[in-house]
Chain A
Amino acid sequence: MGKSMGSEPLGKLYGGKKAKKRREWRGLRDTWYDYVHWLGIWGTLIAFMLHPSNLKAFFRYRWMVHYLAVPDFFDRHTEGMRGTQLRVARVALELVVRDMCKSMAIMFRADPELGNDKKLNEKLVVFDENMMSQIMNGFPNLKWVCVEVPSVYTCAMMAQDGVLYYLDKAQEYGIPSDVCPMPAAELGVALEGDFPKIGKCAVQCNTTCDGSIMGNSVMASRMNLPTFQLAVPIRHGEESVQQYAAEEILNAIAFIEKQTGEAFDWNAFFETMKRFNKETEYLLEWYDISRTPYPQVTGNSLSLYRYAVYMAAGGRVKDFLTTDEKLTRLAMKGYEKKELMAKEVRHRAITWGVQSAYYTAFGIWLQNCWGIVPLVDMLTLCSTRMINTEDKDKAVYDLAYLYEKMIMRSRSNGGYEVGVADLWRFCESFHVDMVIMYAHMGCKSMSGYHGLFEEEARAHGIHLVWATHGLMDARGASRKDMRTEVNRYMRTVLREEPLDPSLEDFDDELAW
């Protein structure tokens, strides 16, 4: 127990209950930093709950209760961390929480059952969870909201049983249990009437998968809003589809203009996209650092933060750029001090496939238990192309390209080149020797490559370790099951001993 990484057996903190036995001791300096920030998160939550609409939401929406686990979420996602790594995680993820709070506050203020702010409601455009928000950058007088993110997506991350109730409801309705739990849970929320009934109009899209498309059709019938379905080409790697992609973006813009009476403001769009481009530049700097022996912004700190920047904030929220600058400063400092991500870095890894929502901290366990550092993940490896901020015609094409490269679908759609072949290119570029392959049981897109992954990994000399999970439903493959698959590979194939033996087998079945 001390200030050095790996000085405490972390598995011993788990006592088989919801919360851990006690907080982790990271040495005086890091413990103080962590504790102050932990209190800060409570402060953010309490401030959020002091608003009457937000407080009412806790009683109106069953999924709200899971946000009581936010402080625990931070503990899970900073486990074993010290120094720069701890600060990067805290800085990145805390902004995501603050941004989420703001977004939820807007929804609840407009919600007829809570705040009932009709004027605000007229300004809200509801986007599908899988739909990138950047189109809204051209509508500065309107507000982008996504009701599925707080009710399903982040809920499942806060608590491992966060959406089970809604999954059951979808299955009672008749949805087969083999489909992806994400759209199924979203449908369950819709069937239960547990989405805030807000918005002037809605835009859905065909990302990320076949199941998601179909879930949308039922949801649209429940939402009772004028809805536009944006069809983003599936074969997004092909030049031949770009014209259609661009035309569809213009169709979506025209729909929003018609429904809201607002005109698309190109100047506002260009201004925000400049910020977005700058954010992409910072990301590329972090990637460069990750290619060295001393990566600094990796794993969840990278992925969860990047999802928020890429999909939700989209250049509109200035705080993200400020935080990017801060993170880059921290990363450079850590790099110069040659700080490692684990007590001993044994394997540099990429995580591929769709990560488990109920075990987003899996990557941190990989680091602490086996010294496997997940540098970057499939969902983060999307578009880094700069958006033109001067020429409208080119900007539409760039925007369309960005939408085609939405998180996840940029790899799960588009065929072998982006789903399989790109993986080996990234392995080479990031100098990794291991791929942690998430096998999401409901994801047909990636499962269809199972055999090809196996064969090609062997040909490339990459260790391919499967981690099977149920995305948002831990009943079929628990967190422990995921760890067991890695443990077996590390023990039997690589014949390695864990860095922290207490993490090899512990009970977190009931944990948040």
Chain B
Amino acid sequence: MKDLVHIYELEKLLQDSCNDAVRQAKAQGQYAIGSVCAMIPEPLLNLDNCFSVRLRAPRTGSMEMGTYYMTSIMCECARALLERAIEGGYGYLDCIIAPDACAQMNRCVENIDKLGLIDKENFFVTYSDVPMKSDETALRHYVRQMRQYVLEPLNRNLGVDVSDEALRRAVEKQNQVNRLVMEIGEYRKEANPRITGYEFAVLCLSTFVCPKEYILPILEETLDELKRREPDKKNPCRARVVMVGSEIDDPDLIRLTEEAGALVAADCYCLGSFPERLEIQLADGEDVLTGICRHYMEKGQCPRFMNTEKIRERHEYVDALAREFHADGIIYQQIKFCDYWGYERAYAGEVMREQYGYPVLSVDRPYVAGGSGQLRTRVQAFVESIEIKKLNRKDK
């Protein structure tokens, strides 16, 4: 297939946390809000003259300093972010709005905070308590926390408009992005898709790390382009998979998977499109902040949701995605040392295999995984096993 017009530009953009789009917005006087977790609703970080940037550490090499401060048993993503902060890579941020969601990311942010790694005037960090269950009690708590640790500090420190009207505008802006991403993602359902999983991952990830105004026209043009795009005659992928698991902030992992023969037909991981790019629907008569929080709580599929209903829902959700996107198998991946996904990967792997009958590949991986030969071999073997199963089925 011909390259998408904007793909090179977006790939370049993803090479740096403080990318051109961020610099451009900063030059226009906008505030850069650092985010580290999906539990802080994105529209709250894109109010008024703010734009959210999900912290990443592209082109990570050494993590020596991050490892000194947090030891080698900590999540590599958390260590890489700390390393990047020590290198001065986040000096452009005006604040970091972090939940105390997973202990490791919390420690990363606390280190950035306590070591004074961003010495910008008026820079601040907030930590909030976010729900671990999905019910009405948790929702009320969520709303209170978001008001106290997100909206009020933004208003107090940066003078951001946090009125209901501003919230509605932010939701609408977010929904424009979400709708476009989802519409683009629909093409992955085709038997011979006109967009690869890698290209989609680049597009989707870009929406988390650029101001929405910047990325919107790119998404619109890409969608338009896709309507006319012709796929290659022969589909190079031999199997279709759903990629599930912990944060993927490097599309090279998706590229590696597809090079090994498995098309990533659907994505259900942090910084992927499901569930984070689902349209936010606000119910009539409900307070707008409550509506936003409800969406993030009810749609969230993070394994830190611990109530039984939510645990079952996670498995049903992946099953539904696999059916909708005609997947042959599921890849559960986690960044090494992630406690949440360490357990969920093992448990969900068993459930999806035994109860739902999917072939499952379960892997842990380093933060920088794009060049991992070991991972490539695992995926290749998985693809072959799916092919053998298909052949066996045909024979029967």
A223-254 interface code vs B (CB 8 A; 1 in, 0 out) = 00001010101110010110110011001000
Task: Assess A213 versus B104: contact at CB under 8 Å? Given A444-B337, A447-B70, A447-B73.
Answer: no
* B290-327 near A? 1/0 per residue, CB < 8 Å: 00000000000001101110010000000000000000
Does A413 sit within 8 A of B, measured CB to CB? yes
Is B339 a contact partner of A452 (Cβ separation < 8 A)? no
The answer to whether A447 touches B128, judged by C-beta atoms less than 8 angstroms apart, is no
Interface size on A, residues (CB 8 A): 51
- Cβ–Cβ contact B347 & A218, under 8 A: yes
Do B144 and A240 have beta carbons less than 8 Å apart? Answer: yes
A178 adjacent to B102 (CB under 8 Å): no
Q: Nearest-CB distance from B365 to chain A (Å)?
A: 12
Q: How many residues of B contact A (CB 8 A)?
A: 54
Complex alpha-carbon distance, A441 and B362, angstroms: 24
Contact A445 B107 (CB under 8 A): yes
Q: Are A240 and B350 in contact (CB under 8 A)?
A: no
State the Cβ distance, A218 to closest chain B Cβ, in Å: 5
Chain A 441-452: CB-based contact to B (< 8 A → 1; otherwise 0): 110110111111
Among B14-22, B30-38, B46-54, B135-143, the stretch in contact with A: B135-143
**Max chain A CB contacts within 10 Å: which of B102, B127, B306, B364?**
B306
Convert A410-427 into 0s and 1s, putting 1 for each residue whose CB lies closer than 8 angstroms to a CB of B. 001111100000000000
Report the bound CA distance from A62 to B349 in whole Å. 28
Given the known interface contacts A234-B100, A415-B106, the answer about A450 and B69 at a Cβ–Cβ threshold of 8 Å is yes
Contact A444 B74 (CB under 8 A): yes
Q: Kindly report which residue of chain A lies nearest to residue B351, judged by CB atoms.
A: A221
Please determine whether B129 and A214 come into contact, CB atoms closer than 8 angstroms. Answer: no
The interface residues of chain B lying within 8 Å CB-to-CB of A414 are 100
The answer to whether A231 and B131 touch across the interface, beta carbons within 8 angstroms, is yes
Q: Report chain B residues within 8 Å CB of A218.
A: 343, 346-347
The interface-forming segment of A204-212, A266-274, A311-319, A342-350 is A204-212
Q: Are B137 and A213 in contact (CB under 8 A)?
A: no
Is A234 a contact of B308 with CB atoms below 8 Å?
Answer: no
Whether A217 lies near B347 (C-beta < 8 A) is yes
Q: Which residues of A contact B337 (CB under 8 A)?
A: 176, 178, 444
- Which of B113, B132, B138, B336 neighbours the largest number of chain A CB atoms within 10 Å of its CB? B132
What CA separation (Å) do A164 and B68 show in the bound complex? 30
Structural contact, B350 and A174, CB atoms closer than 8 A: yes
Interface centre among B73, B108, B344, by most A CB within 10 Å? B73
Is A220's CB within 8 Å of the partner chain B?
yes
State which of A231, A244, A416, A442 has its C-beta within 8 Å of the C-beta of B140.
A244
Report which of A211, A229, A448, A450 forms a contact with B133, defined as CB distance below 8 A.
A229
B contact residues around A227 at 8 Å (CB): 308
B339 adjacent to A444 (CB under 8 Å): yes
Give the Cβ gap from B244 to chain A, nearest Cβ, in Å: 14
Q: Are B145 and A176 neighbours in the complex by a CB distance under 8 Å?
A: no
Could you say which residues of chain B place their CB within 8 Å of the CB of A415? Answer: 100, 106, 110, 127
The answer to whether B106 touches A215 (Cβ under 8 A) is no
CB of A477 within 8 Å of the partner chain: no
Q: Does A216 make an interface contact (CB < 8 A)? A: yes
Interface flags, A173-186, vs B, CB<8A=1, else 0: 11110111000000
**With A and B bound together, what is the CA distance between A251 and B339 in angstroms?**
27
Q: Nearest CB to that of A174 among chain B residues?
A: B346
State how many angstroms separate the Cβ of A299 from the closest Cβ of chain B: 26
Q: Are A244 and B138 in contact (CB under 8 A)?
A: yes
Closest to A183 in B: B343
- Please state if B308 and A179 are interface contacts (CB–CB under 8 Å): no
Q: Per-residue CB proximity of B98-129 to A under 8 Å, as 1/0?
A: 00101110111011011100000000000111
Measured CA separation A218–B351 after assembly (Å) = 10
Contacts of A221 in B (CB 8 A): 311, 347
In the bound complex, residues from chain A placing their C-beta under 8 Å from that of B114 are: 416, 452
Question: Can you name 12 A-B pairs with beta carbons within 8 Å?
Answer: A174-B346, A216-B306, A218-B346, A235-B100, A238-B129, A241-B129, A244-B141, A415-B100, A415-B110, A447-B107, A448-B110, A451-B70
Identify 11 new A-B residue pairs, CB closer than 8 A, beyond the known A210-B304, A243-B141, A251-B137: A178-B337, A179-B342, A210-B339, A211-B339, A214-B339, A218-B343, A231-B306, A233-B141, A413-B100, A444-B75, A449-B110
Instruction: Enumerate chain B interface residues (CB-CB to A < 8 A).
Output: 68-71, 73-75, 78, 100, 102-104, 106-108, 110-111, 113-115, 127-129, 131-133, 137-138, 140-141, 144-145, 148-149, 303-304, 306-308, 311, 336-337, 339-340, 342-347, 349-350, 362, 364
